[in-house]
Amino acid sequence: MTQMRILFMGTPDFAVPCLEKLIANGYNVVAVVTQPDRPKGRKGELAPPPVKEAALRLGLPVLQPEKVRAEEALIELEKYDADLLVTAAYGQLLPKRLLEMPRLGCINVHASLLPRWRGGAPIHRAIIEGDQESGVTIMRMVMALDAGDMISRVVVPIDEADTAESLFHKLSEKGSDLLIETLPTIEAGTFTETPQDESQVTFAPNLSRDDERIDWTKDARRLYNQVRGMNSWPVAFTSLDDKVMKIWQAKVMEETSEPTKYEPGMVVTTTSDSIVVQCGRGQLALTEIQPSGKRRMPASDYLRGVKLAPGTRFGE
């Protein structure tokens, strides 16, 4: 085990491989800070975040302050006398006092190629915007959001069929490997830091309900990327007969802007495995859907019980 005392802060599944590999590689994680348990599911029962579950499995102390900038939380964290603070999708901004606490500073494992996609939803935004590549950047934490100098990074191509979920897992694994490769240079003081190019900054704000809603006036490629970018959470949706219908999987059928008698949102036809819908430009085939109150299912299963005539309209 290395002597460097690490305080780890993370919350969702993305951060779990980082924590697990720190332990597997002999790093001295003195405590784990994560978000409080939150209500989950229809019953609203409290559920621990994935990082808490991993930390308890690994036998590590767990702290769950509601606000990490609160005085009592900072006093508690000071007791661990950490040399380095490592964060991965923790979910709260860190105060200056905490950033200056460890002698080696604070680093963050961020799921994008900074300065592109600073913010809370970099993986979703990369898919939605049709990026060809993503990656992970390990950066120095500063008071401004994701604006610190870059220490190391790894590029990960985005496949045409990637969803936010599949890219999430790729970046999680690559990010944890990058962290383990980078830590020895930080401990030895041999790393270099590269400032971000402020002229290339883009932001990835957290998702809103409007991000989930399908606007059929947009082109088919854009909507395809939206569906991929919302899978597996929170899932893109439209409506049919005033009821919500989630769209889990789709494919682009037609990208031309040739004149058509169908308006955006209208069913053009149905096939053995899809519902083809007119978009502002081109057509999108819905292949996996979830009608309101039912399980997600292949469109073929849905069409066995429901007939959708051409001209049937999705959306508001």
Q: Which residues are annotated as a binding site for (6S)-5,6,7,8-tetrahydrofolate?
A: 112-115
Cα separation, 29 vs 226, in Å, equals 38
Which residues, including other chains, have CB under 8 Å from residue 18's CB and lie 6 or more apart?
A: 8, 10, 86, 88, 109, 172, 175, 176, 179
Cα separation, 101 vs 199, in Å, equals 31
Which of 252, 255, 241 lies closest to 276, judged by CA? 252
Cα 266 versus chain centre, distance: 31
Cα separation, 25 vs 43, in Å, equals 39
Cα separation, 93 vs 146, in Å, equals 10
Cα separation, 180 vs 188, in Å, equals 13
- Sequence ranges of the binding site: 112-115
CA separation, residue 6 to residues 84, 102, 202, 271 (Å): 5, 9, 31, 56
Residue 63 has, within 13 A of its CA and on its CB side, a CA count of 21
User: What are the beta bridge partners of residue 31?
Assistant: 7
